[in-house]
Amino acid sequence: MSGEPGVEDLLRELAPQVLGALVRRYGAFDTCEDAVQEALLAAALQWPAEGLPDNPRGWLVTVASRRLVDQVRSEQARRRREDRIALATPQAELLSRAADAEATADRDDSLALLFLCCHPALSEPSRIALTLRAVGGLTTAQIAAAFLAPEATMAQRISRAKQTIRNSATPLRLPQPADRAERLEAVLHVLYLVFNEGYTATAGNDLTAPALSAEAIRLTRLLHRLLPDHAETAGLLALMLLTDARRAARTGPGGALVPLAEQDRALWDRQLVTEGVVLISRTLPGGRVGPYQLQAAIAAVHDEAEHVDATDWPQILALYDLLEHLAPNPVVALNRAVAVAMVHGPTAGLDLLTALESDRRTAHHHRLLAVRAHLLEQLGNHDAAAHAFREAARRTTTTPERRHLTTRAARLTPGRQE
């Protein structure tokens, strides 16, 4: 989306509100979403040149409503489509007042929209793409660029997702209480995945995609505002802030990867660290502890250490023990193995990697091989460590990680051509 940064930020903030207003009024998610995208693009072109309207949200809803009318009338099945989305508003009425100037004008359907975009019938990639477009206000081109995917492929994914939503006939409303916790968990997971893709890209020449992480943080802030008492939402936001605070120190000259232990902590964003620490410190004592809160607490321990040697590894290990008990998975087990090695020595850490090597989800993952190489290097087994670093380099899909791992291997085998 083009335009001045201030205008773009405002449009991203208004996008879910405008779409929510249209879907509540007309009911056709797919058609409304297309109309809102056109209105956002029109605003991005007009507002920087002509100035903001008195009621930006009303302007967007009005323009999107007109686009919706035009779309419906342009199709041969106009009457059937008009009946389906109940287009009973005369064109003159659209011209006479802002389309959201009604009793529910202040209603924010953003939370319901997040739930709708994370519909159980959608695949995880589709949930991510639809959330970024419908709630995030990103264009298809922006989403495709962020995920290094062809725009046509992303457009098809979004189109199929909207078709699925339409076929499900799911209304824009919060899920029933019995389903709400599970659906909210899906929303949090989508935001977590978007952030992770931005913080450590899964492919390409760049280690990070800052725009994605920033969007994940923005949407999680929105969710936290809508659900201020939900502990795991607060935990996820704290985790994102504490993690993103280190971004500037993660890469060196030429985009080279800098591991956590070697980062210049003066480059960390202390404002984000403080915000994240305050948030998780306020949230943890409040009740039931969840995985995002525990991960945020671990990140806080790292971020509060003035230098790497001051890191409270026993506390980190204790938190990983809780996390593995609460939400066991191979990634948690791998991170816990690192903590065990820091507390009890590299041999103890290597012993824990043996079980992970039999798990098909992690057996050949570059991160497992990199951890093994690091622990072998600590033990002085340089040949085996170099071999593991080279294997890890072959399996990673990002250029900065591959260069880093190859360099580590080369340092252990002087004179060898990599």
Q: How far apart are CA 296 and CA 21, in angstroms?
A: 34
pLDDT of residue 413: 81
Q: What is the pLDDT of residue 310?
A: 95
Sign of CA dihedral 251, 398, 380, 303: positive
Least confidently predicted of 80-94, 199-213, 259-273 = 80-94
pLDDT of residue 251: 84
In this structure, are residues 55 and 98 in contact, taking their beta carbons and an 8 Å threshold? yes
Q: Residue 41: is its pLDDT beyond 80?
A: yes
Q: Give the integer Cα–Cα distance in Å for 135 and 26.
A: 18
pLDDT band at 207 (very low <50, low <70, confident <90, very high): low
Distance between CA atoms of 146 and 199, rounded to whole angstroms? 12
Could you tell me the sign of the dihedral formed by the alpha carbons of 331, 336, 341, 346, in that order?
negative
pLDDT at 267 over 90: yes
CB contact at 8 A, 261 and 292: no
Higher local confidence (pLDDT), 384 or 107: 384
Give dist(CA 306, CA 287) in Å, integer: 30
CB 98 within 8 A of CB 181: no
* CA–CA distance, 109 with 24 (Å, rounded to integer): 8
Highest mean pLDDT among 10-14, 65-69, 187-191, 201-205: 187-191
Looking up tokens 């930006």 gives 56
Taking the C-alpha atoms of residue 221 and residue 17, their distance in angstroms, rounded to an integer, is 15
**pLDDT exceeds cutoff 90 at 101:** no
Is a pLDDT exceeding 80 seen at residue 92?
A: no
Prediction pTM value: 0.80
Strongest mean pLDDT among 43-52, 140-149, 250-259:
43-52
Confidence of residue 75 (pLDDT cuts 50, 70, 90): low
> Which of 35-49, 71-85, 338-352 is predicted least confidently?
71-85
18-27, 38-47, 96-105: least confidently modelled range: 96-105
With cut-offs at 50, 70 and 90, classify the pLDDT of residue 385: very high
- Return the DSSP state at 204: B
Tokens of 29: 């998610």
Strand partners, 251: 257
Per-residue confidence at 152, pLDDT binned at 50, 70, 90? Answer: very high
Which amino acid type is present at position 135?
Answer: V
Phi and psi angles of residue 205, each rounded to the nearest 5 degrees, phi first:
-90, -15
Smallest Cα–Cα separation from 301: which of 286, 281, 285?
A: 281
pLDDT bin (cut points 50, 70, 90) of residue 102 is: very low
Segment 354-367, tens digit of pLDDT: 888 887 777 778 89
Q: In whole angstroms, give the CA distance from residue 353 to residue 102.
A: 61
Q: What is the pLDDT of residue 356?
A: 87
Confidence of residue 206 (pLDDT cuts 50, 70, 90): low
79 band by pLDDT with thresholds 50, 70 and 90: low
Query: What pLDDT does residue 221 have?
Result: 94
The reported pLDDT for the residue numbered 371 is 95
Mean of the per-residue pLDDT values of the chain: 85
> Percentage of residues in the chain with pLDDT exceeding 90?
49
Of 121-130, 260-269, 359-368, 391-400, the least confident = 359-368
Burial class of residue 348 in the structure, from the number of CB atoms within 10 Å of its CB (0-12 exposed, 13-18 middle, 19+ buried): middle
pLDDT > 60? residue 98: no
Q: What is the DSSP code string of 242-298?
A: HHHTTGGGSB-GGG-B--GGG--GGGS-HHHHHHHHHHHHHHGGGS---HHHHHHHH
Buried-state track 278-305, b at ≥16 Cβ within 10 A, e below 16: ebbeebbeeeebbbbbbbbbbbbbbbee
Residue 4 scores a pLDDT above 80: no
Give the residue-averaged pLDDT of 387-413.
90
CA distance 358 to 364: 9
pLDDT of the residue at 107? 53
